[in-house]
Structure 1
């Protein structure tokens, strides 16, 4: 079979409904991981669904316990054609955020795949069951096209706790470093930059969650009897927040900002348009760091967001000075940010501005990553994607959101390539989550073509030793 025949075969597979059948079965598993509990479905999704599917492709599968009791189990699957061949590592997650059943539109359920024209609804369609189903379907079709021999080895890591912050993932990867040894990392998660064209991104912004709390006293006091002589924690906290980020979203703490947008990054983002989709929100003029384009704001800069505020009872306010106030915040940051010292940076800043009473509690975090734009895998992958899709792919140096890519890029030392098959208005994490059939169909072609190209005898930028082993076959 030729490459062109493979592309036609994988899209015919989609058109005949086989992809939809697999995805519907997977959506039906209630694999919620952000509820504070490790529910049994997290394991049975792996043992009952993914293990049989991967074993059919020749993978040796292990479902292993998470070293962190708060994390779900992990699937480690290996398909070794020859230990001397190069190895591809791919990753996905089978867990989802909570279903939010009551908030879905009438006629939709988070646990059933519902097709309405080009939109396919269900929890996990976009994040991440639909995406890893694209990867494994394309891999299956590439194997068939290659007569059962890819010309390289494949390792699959599927976790069941990404939506809970990937507890235990870093430790698991360290404990299984030898089994995860690879030459290249390719995975699918997150959205394309826009619906029209495929996207390749090379890493992600990092994220740090933290909470700021002002505890003024142990109970509320009448605002008429005590207003004017008792400090209001909500007002104190509001001014503390205003010292961190201004009224236009600009970060005011120098150490929480990157030094600049590198010229090479700026050049890569020159033609990247943000917010052009029909369902995208309208951008706010003048918001964020002055002088940056929307793409530079999202991909090349840091943002400090207040995710939630609490003081008193907003649903039923009373005439009382609240006892305490809290703000749950998040810093999204790019490569080069001194993120490991964020807590001390916040403490020093707040103390210097007279807010020593503000308590800081740090939450979950992940580092920022970005594969060098000059890495040979970048141009090679873009060429492969264009050949399959019939149009150029958009290069995004890093995703604006966050993924545990630092584990693969920094801890395991791999070149990391992410090819998403969702789009910005997919409603991931929200009611009515969906994917778009044309994006999936094109994504299947892109991934199948990539898996074919990785097996070519020449021109693939594997490591020198791995390439020599492949050429010897």
Structure 2
């Protein structure tokens, strides 16, 4: 067992140098989606390789058709762990909204204390370096980085990860581990850490209802002619009942109730639907009435309309019956819901309710992705939760996530392993926006947290 107290003391004594190292990485303009920054992306990857070598990792650049991967190994015995992060960042536009140049990092006073401001400060360079600094302190105290650890840093996460799946498939044996560690998540609040254990999947479709072969004059054809907007509205209204439940047959197959012990953790978080909805000018929860708002966000599936259009929508008025109307629908999935089954049920509802003279077309962007639930009864998850709780004022919670994190599903499907999703970002970190920031406390206590987690996992 490492001397954890000594590692934590080393992190504390090396804080200023750690900030300078993070600043060096933040100055690199590694915008992955813009080819103009190709050299900057490679520069960031090369910098990481050299930094990892300096603390005892065997590290290398791995070229892809796009931006390179960084892979590093520490060697040694113990549970095999894989840590994932990404060094690429989003574009900085609009530049005029930044209070300082986005690639010239600064420490400024924020609402909750000092914060690091720069593009990539929290997404994901700051989070990535939080972990690297814990490894650096480990090396300084023990003479080697944490044992049997693999690091995978991607350079295309912010541009759709086109090289990731081929890379994982081509390097399965090298990258397989007992458990993955993913840092691209956040805290519940500034004093309460969280481990994300539920991720919602998605099914999405654009559905178009068509009738006449052209737009029709509403005075001449209104009444006898089928109106695609009316047809669409009737079908959409049928998809939810008065309690907010989705009415598609089989929609809730595979949806399990949240375990009571997890609900008890969530209750301690002090979530307020009044505050949550009030922040966006709303007041009354509109989802399934039998479930709390937090459950609706994290643990329940949804079917939502993301865009509806038909007929004339410009300025003024044009009295037509449109030839077609369309809707964009997305379903967030949880548990063992089957994306293909849900898409089929959705399509069937439209076909069943379609009146004469109307046709329907479906445009599906992809095959859909299922929800993910991590095994919170795995002792390693509880060990990590306790380790986090030892560092922060409030006890850590197993939390849900309303969105999706594709890498977690890929680690399951390609490498056959679960992920501990631990991050130290905050809701107001303005990721992807001007004036992105990362709390200095998140950076420093986050590094201490990772040292504690690594020590806890090394007991296995």
TM range (shorter): 0.7 to 0.9
Deviation at 1:90, TM superposition (A): 0.8
Give the 5 Å matches for 1:335-346. 335-346=335-346
Choose the corresponding residue for 1:269, options 258, 266, 271.
Answer: 266
- Deviation string 1:199-251 (CA, Å, 9 cap, x unpaired) is 11234221233322335567655555655565444444344333334688543
Equivalences, count:
445
Separation of aligned partners in 2, 1:357 and 1:451: 58
In 2, Cα distance between equivalents of 1:108 and 1:244: 48
Q: Distance in 2 between matches of 1:129 and 1:237?
A: 45
Query: The residue matched to 2:238 in structure 1 has which SS?
Result: helix
Equivalence for 2:359: 357
Distance in 2 (CA, whole Å) between partners of 1:279 and 1:289 is: 19
Q: How does 1:58-457 map to 2 (within 5 A)?
A: 58-66=57-65, 72-82=66-76, 85-101=78-94, 105=97, 107-117=99-109, 118-150=114-146, 152-216=147-211, 220=215, 227-228=222-223, 231-245=226-240, 250-257=245-252, 259-264=255-260, 265-274=262-271, 281=280, 284-311=283-310, 314=313, 316=315, 318-319=317-318, 321=320, 322-354=322-354, 357-364=359-366, 365-389=368-392, 391-396=394-399, 398-404=400-406, 405-455=408-458
Per the TM alignment, residue 407 of structure 1 is displaced from its structure 2 partner at its CA by 1.5
> Do 1:213 and 1:324's aligned partners in 2 also have CA atoms closer than 8 Å?
yes
The TM-score with structure 2 as length reference comes to: 0.83
Conserved 8 A contact 1:210-1:363: yes
Distance 2:449 2:58 in 1: 22
1:47 aligns with 2:45: yes
Distance 1:306 1:11 in 2: 49
Distance 2:388 2:108 in 1: 28
SS of 1:200's partner is strand
Kindly state the Cα deviation for residue 336 of structure 1 after the two structures are TM-superposed.
Answer: 1.4
2:201/2:369 contact within 8 Å kept: yes
Contact map agreement 1:250 1:287 (CA 8 A) in 2: no
The answer as to whether partners of 1:142 and 1:452 remain within 8 angstroms in 2 is: no
Q: How does 1:19-30 map to 2 (within 5 A)?
A: 19=19, 21-23=21-23, 25-26=25-26, 28-30=28-30
User: C-alpha separation between the residues in 2 aligned to 1:26 and 1:326?
Assistant: 43
CA shift, 1:342, in A, is: 3.0
The offset of 1:60, in angstroms, is 2.3
Q: CA deviation at 1:13?
A: 3.2
User: What residue is the counterpart of 1:69 in the other structure?
Assistant: none
TM-score, normalised to structure 1's length?
0.81
CA deviation string 1:154-204 (max 9, x = no partner): 212222333344335334322211011212211111222223211112342
**Cα contact 1:305–1:330 (8 A) shared by 2:** yes
For 1:455-470, what aligned pairs fall within 5 Å after superposition?
455=458, 460-461=459-460
Q: Which residue of 2 aligns with 1:469?
A: none
User: Which residue of the partner structure matches residue 7 of structure 2?
Assistant: 6
Distance 1:307 1:208 in 2: 12
5+ long unaligned stretches in structure 2:
none
> What residue number does 1:465 align with?
none
- 1:255 aligned counterpart, secondary structure: coil
Write out per-residue CA displacement over residues 61-119 of structure 1, whole angstroms, 9 at most, x where no aligned residue: 132315xxxxx43514131423x5432101112333443315x6352454443543134
Quickly say closer, same or farther: Cα 1:221–1:263, change in 2 above 3 A. same
Q: 1:158 to 1:233 in 2, by over 3 A?
A: farther
Of 440-449 and 352-361, more deviation after overlay is shown by 352-361
Alpha-carbon distance in structure 2 between the residues aligned to 1:43 and 1:64? 12
